[in-house]
Structure 1
Amino acid sequence: MASISESNIAYNKKDLDDKTLLKLYYNMLKPRLIEEKMLILLRQGKISKWFSGIGQEAISVGVTMALKPTEYILPMHRNLGVFTTRKIPLHRLFCQWQGKLSGFTKGRDRSFHFGTQDYKIVGMISHLGPQMGVADGIALGNLLKKNNQVTAVFTGEGGTSEGDFHEALNVASVWQLPVIFCIENNGYGLSTPTEQQYRCENLADRGKGYGIDAYVIDGNNILEVYTKVKELAESLRKHPRPVLIEFKTFRRRGHEEASGTKYVPEAKMKAWEAKDPIDNFKNFLHTEGILTPEIEAQFEAEIKFEITSALTSAYAESSITPNESNELNDVYKGSIYKDIKPNTKLKELRFVDAISEGLKQSMEQHNDLVIMGQDIAEYGGVFKITDGFVEAFGTDRVRNTPICESAIVETAMGLSISGFKSVVEMQFSDFVTSGFNPIVNYLAKSHYRWAQSADVVIRMPCGAGVAAGPFHSQTNEAWFTKTPGLKVVYPAFPFDAKGLLATAVNDPNPVLFFEHKALYRSIRQDVPTDYYTLPFGKASILKEGESVSIISYGAGVHWALETLEKHPNISADLIDLRTLQPLDSNTIIASVKKTGRAIILQEDSLFGGIASDLSALLMETCFEYLDAPVKRIGSLETPIPFASQLEDQYLGKRKFEKTLISLLAY
């Protein structure tokens, strides 16, 4: 039976008991009192920044209480109520905000930019959008586990303009993932009002376009939030599918405290103050005789005592002492390489076949491995590497994706959080730009920030020499070797490709695995038939000599081999790097100290590439051993042209022979 208090919000208890109603109130009061304390500390200069959720507590608390403690929630930076309702110790939260070691990121990130598997919370990054695709991945993990769990993810009305939002909704709809997408429509994206952000009447209307059920809820009405989300969660557990909920609310403080709220009309602010979710619910509970002055005082005293105690212990904790080794060691998740020797039975394979066989055998080794990409299922991929995989492993593990690279990389991250491995195929490495943000800002930084591994391999068909033009020919490895937290593999031979791919799948860190398209069907080699691994960070010395060190990888290795075959009198070490991150610098340095000369050959355009870093490394470590300048060979500083004669001119291959001979004559 509906009851309306003297407040501005209509409440309906339905069949909720008094204990639940009081718990809802308590859980809203707690983040409010913490925030009020934080605003005082901010003015005192004791914390550096604060993103206030005052007036929005009903959403965080209602959603969190509606879910099971084992179900993941992906909040934003105004969802303090998610963390407190999940009963994260305040000491740890306060240490997080103060940059102390007992926080969740060891002082490496602030605010709510962290996750915790212990409480099944995955915090956001500043780019906002990626967490929605990550929620898709966690939900996909739930489906594969058949555990009947849902995932809830938050965004603001401003975040719905990001491409990640639309990609994530589309993927969730196509795959029928049990995700509750929560939009906190709080009136402003920083200072930009909603009428300047979208034209639809309600953001929930966007659900129709994706075939998703959508709802508009009063985000200040804790009972409406809690009961509706609970109802939906129970339904999604039985019949998995995504839903979109728009919570109408308001941000009563600035985007962050320094922003202020001068851009908000005074009348609007007063109207929303009258709809305060805590004051109104408190009045309702008093009217119903559920909340007494004694209980109210008890709640407030208990929470304030907890806040004071936690602050005291957080302040007492020493500041972090910088330790360079600790910082470097936490960039990657530690893993023990398992050396699996190949058998003696060999079979001649093309480069493309070795990758296919390696991937198939990894699928057999790891039942928790999922492959995702465009056209990779029944069609077998544009290069036919996954041909026959659906028949062998099923569509749950071999998944065609919509054309949305960003969301699929994010989904892979979510699968990792859920305990799965994944391999994502970029149809061409050029297309990785559409998924660049989650790779370099999410996958690469997760372990360093909050010890969450990103167990993801991204396959990157790359390279020129096939007349594919500017958008299907790049070899863009340098974009990723620059980013700490990523590993980069770039084999040149079928044997290496198969063994290194197995190691990449085994590695719990994100790996960019480059596969040169021109080598796919032109390079053959005898390859062991069974499963084996090869170590990262170990270069291959293909030829040994005394006069010069040639350092290359990918197609460049074959250019060098052609040149040496043409000039059998040249005595050279030829080093195939195989992996660029980690890099086998010891082999490179030892070779150059022996020969006194070095030439570095890459297919990528020269400036800012791997060759530049290697050259600098050699100048720093081998200067006194050098008998000539270190030479670098790369391609022209232009995009890659289509016409074969222009492509031939573009590639550094044509300059290598002349420069090598010149270096030897120096």
Structure 2
Amino acid sequence: MPINIDYSLNSSFNDATLLHLYKCLLKPRFIEEKMLILLRQGKISKWFSGIGQEAISIGVTLALEKDEYILPMHRNLGVFTTRGIPLYRLFSQWQGKANGFTKGRDRSFHFGTQEYNIVGMISHLGPQLGVADGIALANKLKNNNKICAVFTGEGGTSEGDFHEALNVASVWSLPVLFCVENNGYGLSTPNSEQFNCNNIADKGIGYGMESHIIDGNNVLEVYSKVNELAKSVRKNPRPILIEFKTFRIRGHEEASGTKYVPEDVLEFWRAKDPITNFEAFLKNKGVLSAIIEQQYKEEITAEIHEHLQIAFNEEKIIPNLETELKDVFKPLDYQEIKPSSNKKNIRFVDAISDGLKLSMENHKDLVIMGQDVAEYGGVFKITDGFVAKFGKERIRNTPICESVIISAAYGLSVNGVKSIVEMQFADFVSSGFNPIVNLLAKSHYRWSEKADIVVRMPCGAGVGAGPFHSQTNEAWFTKTPGLKVIYPAFPEDAKGLLISAINDPNPVLFFEHKALYRSVYQDVSEDYFTTEIGKANLLKTGIHLTIISYGAAIHWVLEALENLSNIYADIIDLRTLQPLDIDTIFTSVRKTGKAIIVQEDSLFGGIASEISALIQEHCFEFLDAPVQRVASIDTPIPFQSDLEQQYLSKNKLRERIQSLHQY
């Protein structure tokens, strides 16, 4: 085959380097060819081919230092082989066996490994770029002169997260290389139907970002140029957008085929194969002899065969229910720190602020991110004065981009830095829903990696804020395994639980009812203390019935019972919705025989429904009446005060308690 790639501009490498690049190229190609055979034999379930694109993975990986994070995609097998991962572990991963990286819980390249500083691909594509932002931010905060590189395809550049990630990286001058493999098609959709500019690199202009176009099939150009850029970014931290021009010779995945690609286009790119061209170049240069070529190919073939046998001989994973459930969360050794007697009467909002402040002092690298949280102090002034005390590096205003900031928080966690993300209003979390439920929640279960993040959620009605600023949307998240959900009602609980949430290495959504911020006071310890997550609080005891609630609705319950002097009830403040303290609930219901669950959220699909079902299943023989649910009406939350009062469950609570008592 004639040489179709110009290596002349990058021909200053010594022979040893050239041969190393060649051998690195061969290994993923040989593995892929073997995997395609195994796929046809039904010995692996799926394969996403990177044949023809190996030069990009090899060149980028070799340009990075081994302790610098790299975030590959499903066609970047060369990243994993060049980082030196034993092949039997890769083969075990693809067969869903224990020597892989996900205990059989995820497939192909959906895995990461701290041992090799790799964060595996995310199927939703976009959040991967935000994770790189977070890793790069941690590097910058540590001042360690490290960079990271993240891959995506041309299709991923159409996602909003691409815009958000590049924008944040540019605004914060983050040391990250955004590597876009432009291979012509997003599955079957050609570039002409995906974006309307000549080059993806042109998009860098809009972010004030340096960008480059590289021939992705020329391993010397990839390695030399990325190596040059990497050295520059280590000295002068900044993001760079790199577009690699290449092509996907095989289908998006093997079942897809390539019938949608014109044959002349396929022939052109087959002629630009990065391995056959480089091989010819090395032979013409006198660097690669037939003996060395044969030796390399035999060594790689033997290694693949040996490691495949190890993987094939490995026993299948035997399902273990206890292990599966245990691995949803990273284990936590809870350290109880009791409140001191040094107390002060403060508001709910002050307790939140105090918990944050003491945690910032206790965790010297803890970062708070959110819109207007710095000099402005947040819209509720909870972080007012924090910049003066902790500096702008740790109290970071963000652009309006909830999705990438949550992804960046995950990147911080991967790189060993705790963070808190403030949603300006809980309603706005919908813009960051994807990374919370698909990335944070699944992280420890998928590849034993913590997501050490607290997402603060100012929520709730009663302040005339209307449909976009009043939701109490905790039910969106209690359904998702891997998330902890906290919803305090009193200042002392708010402070102690917030501190515990920050100490917890798992992702926590911390709901703060806006109507409680400046209306509820309590004597609260001024010192650092913790409250255990997952433990309800029995506020009052009684014999007639059990009332279960949380957040602002607890105060409605207490108010209603003040005028019902003949009813003595157990009042349970859940405080934590996930994990749920079912023992306290069941103990009370078995004593009183009657239960009513009160929530501010609308009725259908709320936490009250789940608790009701649990009581029916586990306490049925103790019940003297049907379990009751009290919730707001099934409409969005209106703005006008009379409409809002009609919406809220508060107004029907007293009547429902009386009715249950009389049943």
TM-score, with length taken from structure 1:
0.99
User: Residue 230 of structure 2 aligns to a residue in which SS?
Assistant: helix
Shift of 1:452: 0.4
Post-superposition offset of 1:13 = 3.4
Give the structure 2 partner of residue 520 of structure 1. Answer: 517
**Aligned equivalent of 1:8:** 4
Partner of 1:328 in structure 2? 325
Q: Find the counterpart in structure 2 of residue 432 from structure 1.
A: 429
| CA drift at 1:202 | 0.2
User: Post-superposition shift, 1:395?
Assistant: 0.6
Partner secondary structure for residue 121 of structure 1 = coil
Separation in 2, partners of 1:502, 1:608: 30
Per-residue deviation at 1:72?
A: 0.4
Map residues 22-61 of structure 1 onto 2, 5 A cutoff. Answer: 22-61=19-58
Match of 1:241 in 2: 238
Q: 1:288-346 deviations in whole A, cap 9, x for unaligned? A: 00111111001000000010000001000011100000100000000111100111011
What do the CA deviations read for 1:448-473 (whole angstroms, capped 9, x no partner)? Answer: 00000000000000000000000000
Match for residue 301 of structure 2 among 304, 328, 332: 304
What's the CA shift for 1:228?
A: 0.5
SS of residue in 2 equivalent to 1:122:
coil
Name stretches of at least 5 consecutive residues in structure 2 with no aligned partner: none
Q: State the SS of the aligned residue for 1:115.
A: coil
- 1:79-478 counterparts in 2 under 5 A? 79-478=76-475
Alignment partner for residue 606 of structure 1, among 600, 603, 607?
603
| SS in structure 2 at match of 1:460 | strand
Distance in 2, matches of 1:199 and 1:433, equals: 29
How far 1:16 moved relative to its partner? 1.4
Question: What are the superposed Cα offsets for residues 28-65 of structure 1, whole Å, 9 maximum, x if unpaired?
Answer: 11000000000000011111100000000000000000
Q: Is the 8 A contact 2:351 2:491 kept in 1?
A: yes
Aligned-residue offset at 1:14: 4.1
State the Cα distance separating 1:6 from its structure 2 match.
4.5
Write the distance in 2 (CA, Å) between the matches of 1:395 and 1:16.
44
The aligned residue for residue 591 of structure 1 is: 588
Residue-by-residue CA offset, 1:55-112 (whole Å, 9 max, x unaligned): 0000000000011001000000000000000010000000000000110000000010
Distance 2:534 2:137 in 1: 33
Partners of 1:247 and 1:271 in 2: how far apart?
17
What amino acid does structure 1 have at the position aligned with 2:604? F
- Provide the C-alpha distance between the structure 2 equivalents of 1:502 and 1:269, rounded to a whole number of angstroms: 58
Specify the code of the residue in structure 2 equivalent to 1:270: E
- Whether the aligned pair in 2 keeps the contact of 1:359 and 1:502 (CA below 8 Å) is yes
- Mapped to 2, the partners of 1:626 and 1:178 lie a distance apart of 61
Q: Is the Cα contact below 8 Å between 1:469 and 1:640 reproduced in 2?
A: yes
Q: Secondary structure of the residue that 1:457 maps to in structure 2?
A: strand
- Contact kept, 8 Å, 1:6 with 1:284, in 2: the verdict is no
Return the letter of the residue paired with 1:585.
I
- Cα deviation for residue 125 of structure 1 reads 1.6
1:112-161 deviation per Cα after TM superposition (whole angstroms, max 9, x unaligned)? 00000000000112111111000000000000111101100000000000
Q: How much is the aligned-residue C-alpha RMSD, in angstroms? A: 0.7
**TM-score, normalising length: structure 2:** 0.99
The alignment covers a number of residue pairs equal to 662
Unaligned runs of 5+ in 1: none
Query: What is the alpha-carbon distance in structure 2 between the residues aligned to residue 59 and residue 354 of structure 1?
Result: 51
CA shift digits 1:269-305 (9 cap, x unpaired): 0000000000000000000001111110010000000
Deviations 1:407-450 (A, max 9, x none): 00000000000001000000000000000000000000010000
Distance 2:2 2:235 in 1: 39
Q: Report the AA paired with residue 254 of structure 1.
A: G
Cα distance in 2 for partners of 1:96, 1:6 equals 38
State the one-letter code of the partner of 2:585: I
Aligned residue for 2:526?
Answer: 529
Distance 1:58 1:209 in 2: 28
Is it true that 1:661 corresponds to 2:658 in the alignment? yes
Separation (CA, whole Å) in 1 of partners of 2:631 and 2:220:
64
In the alignment, the residues of structure 1 paired with residue 424 and residue 414 of structure 2 have an alpha-carbon distance, to the nearest angstrom, of 24
How far off its partner does 1:15 sit? 2.9
For 2:514 and 2:581, how far apart are their aligned partners in 1? 24
In the aligned structure 2, how far is the partner of 1:51 from the partner of 1:371? 38
